[in-house]
Amino acid sequence: MAVENVIWPRYIDASVSREDGRRVPLDDAVDDPTVDEIAQAVQQIGYDAVIERDVTHPREWDARGRVLVKGAEDSTKNDLVQAVAAYVGILRD
């Protein structure tokens, strides 16, 4: 069975505190990340990404969506989120 990791935009959003769900250091976080940027970063890392646009994180009111990462059995969720944040930062430069 394939492992599916879920990455919500709030995991790498600089405006979200660690207490409210940010999973990366503030230096690695980005302002208002989109699911499109996250999916592009996931593909750059070498995994398949599926965007679900009409879902809302339990701590949010607006549906910002989420990205399902398929085939990431060889990576921990924390490592995956850190790499995605780094790539989104690179994509914006």
70: domain CATH number is 3.30.56.30
- Cα–Cα distance measured from residue 9 to residue 91, given in angstroms and rounded to the nearest whole number: 15
Looking at residue 23, what is its pLDDT? Answer: 96
Residue 65, phi then psi, degrees to nearest 5? 85, -175
Identify the burial level of 26 via C-beta atoms within 10 angstroms of its C-beta, where 0-12 means exposed, 13-18 middle and 19 or more buried. Answer: exposed
> The pTM is what?
0.92
The structural domain count of the chain equals 1
The tens digit of pLDDT for each residue in 6-25 reads 999 999 999 999 999 999 99
- Residue 51 to residues 25, 26, 39, 80, Cα–Cα distance (Å): 24, 24, 7, 16
Domain that holds residue 24: 5-92
From CA 60, how far away is CA 82, in angstroms rounded?
22
- Count the neighbouring beta carbons within 10 Å of the beta carbon of residue 47: 22
Please state which of the ranges 22-26, 40-44, 71-75 shows the lowest mean pLDDT. 71-75
Residue range 75-87: mean pLDDT, rounded: 94
